[in-house]
Structure 1
Amino acid sequence: MELIISIISSILLSISLGVLGIWIYFAIFVSKSLRYAPKLDKIIESKERVDVILPARNEEKFIAKCLDSLLKQDYTHLRIIAIDDSSTDNTANIIKEYARRDDRVVYLHAGEKPEGWTGKNWACYQGYLRSDADLLLFTDADSTFANNLVSLAVSKFVANSLDALTLMPRIQCFDIFTKITLPLLNNILYSRYSPLRVNDPKNKLGYFFGSFFIIKRSVYEKVGTHKGVKDELVEDGALGSKVKNAGYKLMMARAEEYFNAVWARDFHTLWNALGRLVAPLYANAKFTAIGIFLATFFLFLYPFISLIYSIIFQGIIENILLVVNIITCIIMLSMSIVQAINLRLNPLYALGIPIGAVIIVFGFLGGILNARRKGVRWRDRDYVYKVYKADGFQP
C-alpha cells in the first residue's frame, strides 16, 4: 500500500511542479502586462468623424446609462447608431426616445436575423450599412464611459497611425459568484490575451474587446465586416484575429480608469458565458476543446485537490508535494488579489478562488457536455453548434 501511495505521490509531484512552473510564468508575464501595456495618455485635436455602432437586445436596464455616457463625450465629431436587435423588452422605446431628443442618436431596427447569423453580428452589420464615417467604434449596450474616453481613444489611434484600437475595460461584477471567479479568470486574460502579445507584430494573436474597438472603415470592409464572422459566437476575437493576420496595425490598450463593461450579470449568465467559449469549439475541434478543459482543470482546480492529498498523506514525497502546492496556491491567491483590486473589488473575494476554480472548470465541462447534446442559449436565442462556431476564442 505504501508503495502505491509513493508512486501516486511521485506522479502528483511531477504534475504539481509543472503547474507551479506555469503559474510562475503567469505571474511574471501578467506583471509585465500590467506594467508595460499602453494606456490612454493625451488628447490631440482631431476632426475624424466617428460613428458609434451600438447593438442592443433586451438591454432596458443598461441602455440609458450607456447612451447618457456617450452623449456626454467631449469629442464633437460623434454620431451614435443604436440598433435594436429584435428586443422583447423596452429597449427599442428607450432608444427611440433618445433619438427624438438628440439628433446625434440614430435609431435603427435590425429586423429578424437571417439563418446562419448571430444576432449581434447581424445588428452590427446593419449599423455599419447605416454609417458613413471613416472611423467606426463598436461597443456594447451595457458599457459606460468617462466623458473624455472617445477623445483619448481617437488621439491614441491617430498619434500611432493605427488601423484598429481596442481597449480593455474594467469588468463590473454584480453577484458573488462572478466576484470570486473573475479575479482568477483575469489572470488568463492578462497572459493569453495580453496587450504585449496583441501589440507585437511578430505575434499572430489578434483580439478585440467587443465592449470597445475603433477600426478604420476601409480596414473593416477589407477584412469582410461582420459578414465575414457572421456565424461566430466570439465575434470580437475572430474579427481582431482577421485584422491582425491581414497585416494591419492593431493596438490593445488599458482603459480600466475610463470605462466599465459587463461580462456576466448573475450566475446563470456567468455559466453560459463560460460554456459559450468552449462548446462551439468542441463541435468543430473536439481534441482542442478537451485539451483546454484539461489545462483549465490542472491550472485552476488541481492545486487545491493536490494540496488536500498532501495534507492527508504523510511522507517525504508528500511533504515536498505539500510545499509545492502551498507555493502554487499562494501565487494564485496573490495574483487574484491584484486582479480583485484592479476590478475594484474587495480583495477578500480572492479567498474564494477555490470556488471560482470549480465554477470555471465545471462551466467548461458543462459547455462540452452541452455541445454533445444541443446548442447554447445566448441573449435569449438558441444557437446550434453545427451552424455556429467560436474560432474567436483563440486557445
Structure 2
Amino acid sequence: MAIYIGIHLFFLAWIIINRLFLPALPKQPQLSADPLVSVLVPMRNEERNVEVLIKSLKNSTYGHAEFIILNDQSTDGTQAELERAIAEDSRFTILHGTQLPDGWVGKVHACHQLQQAASGDYLLFVDADVRFRPKAIEQSLSLMQQKGAQLLTGFPAFDVAPFLSKLLVPMLHFVILFHLPLALANYTKFKAATAANGMWMMFESRSYQKIGGHTAVYDSLVEDVHIARKVKKHGFKVVLANITMSVKCRMYTTNAEVWEGFLKNSYAGIGRSPVIATALILFYSIFYILPPFLALYGLFSGFYWWIVPYLLTVAQRWYVDMVTNQRWYLSFLIPLQAAAMLAVLVESMRKSFKKQPYSWKGRHYS
C-alpha cells in the first residue's frame, strides 16, 4: 500500500509541475501590431447557440476583425437565427456550405470553405458552442506574438449540464495535464507531444497556407491534433494555452450527444492503437477506478490509510479543476469519470474493429 500511495503522490506532483509549462492568456494583452483577424465559425444545426455566440462576437473589444460564419447545410432554424442576431452589422458575412465531397469530414470541409473567404493575417477558428470574454481575441493574439507562435490553441472552461457531460468532458483537461508533457508540447517541434482543440485555434495565415490548411487533414476525425502536427512538421511553433478564464463552452446538451461526440474521437484520438487502448484500460482501472473500493474496505476494516489513494486521486482531479476553471466538487467523481472514459473508449474501439460508422450531426464517418 505504501508503494501505491507513493505512486499517487508522484502523479500529483507531476500534474503540478507539468502545469507550469501551460501558459495562460494574459489578463492585460500587449500587442506589437494590429493585424486583421478573421474569426471563422462553422455551423451545422446550431440554432440554439446562435444568439449567445453572436453576442460574444459583437462584444469583442478587438477592433480589427471580420466575422465569417458558414451555415453548413443546416436543417433547423440556424439561418433565420443568424440573420436575426446579426441584423445590419457589417462585420459579419454568412456563407452557405456546399455539398460535402467524398472522403471529407464535415467540419473540416466547413473550415476549408471558411478560410477561402477570409482576408485576415490571422485566422481564428471557433466552434458555435463557444462563448468568450470581450478581450479573448486580443489576449490570444498577444500570447501568440509573445511566444512567436504560428498556432495557438486551448481547451475552454466547460459548462457541463448533462450527467454524462459531467463525467466525460472535464477529463479533457485531466488528460492534457496528466498525459501530455507540456514542456515538449510547447517548447519543441516533437510531433508526438501535440494536443490541440478545434474549438479555439488561431493560426498565422501565411503559415496556415504553407502547411496546406485544412485540405491537409481533409479525412481526419481529430483534425485539430493532426493539423497542429502539420504545423510542427513544417518547423512552425504551436502553443497550447490555458484559455479557461476567457473562453467557455457547453459542448453538449443531452447525454446522447455526449456519447456520440466522444465516441467518434475516443479511439481515433489515440491513433486507433489497440496497444495504447489496452494500456489505458489497465492504467485507469488500477489507479483511478480501484481506489474507492480500497477506501470502502479501509473504512469498514479499520485500515484507514487505505482511504489515502482515493483522496489523492481527488486531489489530482481538484487541482486540475482549480487551474482550468471547473467545478471543484466534480473532483470526487474521478472514479466514475475514469470508468466513463474507458467505457466510451471500449465502445469506440469495438465500432472500429467491426467497421461500423460513427455518427455526428446526421453524417456518418468510418
TM-score range (shorter-chain normalised) is 0.7 to 0.9
CA distance in 2, matches of 1:264, 1:220: 29
Matches within 5 A, 1:47-196: 47-193=34-180, 195-196=182-183
Secondary structure of residue in 2 paired with 1:82 = strand
Structure 2 residue corresponding to 1:223, chosen from 202, 211, 220:
211
Question: Which of 344, 350, 353 in structure 1 is aligned with 2:331?
Answer: 350
Are the equivalent residues in 1 in contact too, given 2:40–2:67 (CA < 8 A)?
Answer: yes
Match of 2:250 in 1: 262
Q: 1:250 aligns with which of 238, 244, 248?
A: 238
- Report the AA paired with residue 32 of structure 1: I
Question: Deviations along 1:185-243, whole A, 9 cap, x unmatched?
Answer: 53212133454332121533233221112111111111111111011111111111110
Provide the TM-score with structure 1 as the length reference: 0.82
CA distance in 2, matches of 1:330, 1:191: 17
What is the deviation of 1:107?
0.2
Residue 328 of structure 1 is matched in structure 2 by 309
- Find the counterpart in structure 2 of residue 6 from structure 1: none
Question: Displacement of 1:353 after TM fit?
Answer: 2.3
1:278 matches 2:278:
no
- Give the equivalent residue in structure 1 for 2:282: 298
Return the alpha-carbon distance in structure 1 between the equivalents of residues 189 and 144 of structure 2: 20
Deviation at 1:32, TM superposition (A): 2.1
Question: Residue 358 of structure 2 aligns with which residue?
Answer: 376
CA shift at 1:124, angstroms? Answer: 0.5
What TM-score comes out, normalization by structure 2 length? 0.87
* d(CA) in 1 for partners of 2:59, 2:256: 33
Aligned-partner Cα distance in 2 for 1:150–1:306: 42
What SS does the aligned partner of 2:24 have?
A: coil
Which shows bigger deviation, 166-175 or 75-84? 166-175
1:27: which partner in 2? Answer: 12
User: 2:72, 2:336 → 1: CA distance?
Assistant: 35
1:39 counterpart = 2:24? yes
C-alpha distance in structure 2 between counterparts of 1:246 and 1:146, whole Å: 32
Q: Structure 1 residues 227, 19: closer, same or farther in 2, change over 3 A?
A: farther
Aligned length in residues: 359
Alpha-carbon RMSD across the aligned residues, in angstroms, is 2.9
CA contact (8 A) 1:57 1:379 kept: yes
1:57-82, CA deviations, whole angstroms, 9 ceiling, x for partnerless residues? 11111122112101111111100110
Partners of 2:97 and 2:151 lie apart in 1 by 25
8 Å contact kept, 2:189–2:233: no
Identity of aligned residues (%): 21
SS in structure 1 opposite 2:47? coil
What is the rounded CA distance, in whole Å, between the counterparts of 2:111 and 2:207 in structure 1?
15
Partner of 1:5: none
1:238-276 deviation line (CA, Å, top 9, x unaligned): 111110122102212212111102344332222223322
Give the residue type in structure 2 aligned to 1:106: T
After TM superposition, give the deviation of residue 342 of structure 1 in Å: 4.5
Amino acid paired to 1:53: L
Contact 2:104–2:219 (Cα < 8 Å) also in 1: yes
Q: Which runs of 5+ in 1 are unaligned?
A: 1-12, 385-395
Q: In the superposition, relative to structure 1, how do residues 249 and 334 fare at CA in structure 2: closer, same or farther (>3 Å)?
A: same
In the alignment, the residues of structure 1 paired with residue 326 and residue 25 of structure 2 have an alpha-carbon distance, to the nearest angstrom, of 23
Q: 1:83, 1:127 within 8 Å by CA — same for their partners in 2?
A: yes
Structure-2 separation of matches of 1:176 and 1:301: 21
Q: 1:238 aligned to 226, 230, 236, which one?
A: 226
Separation in 1, partners of 2:25, 2:345: 34
Q: For residue 102 of structure 1, report the CA deviation from its aligned partner.
A: 0.6
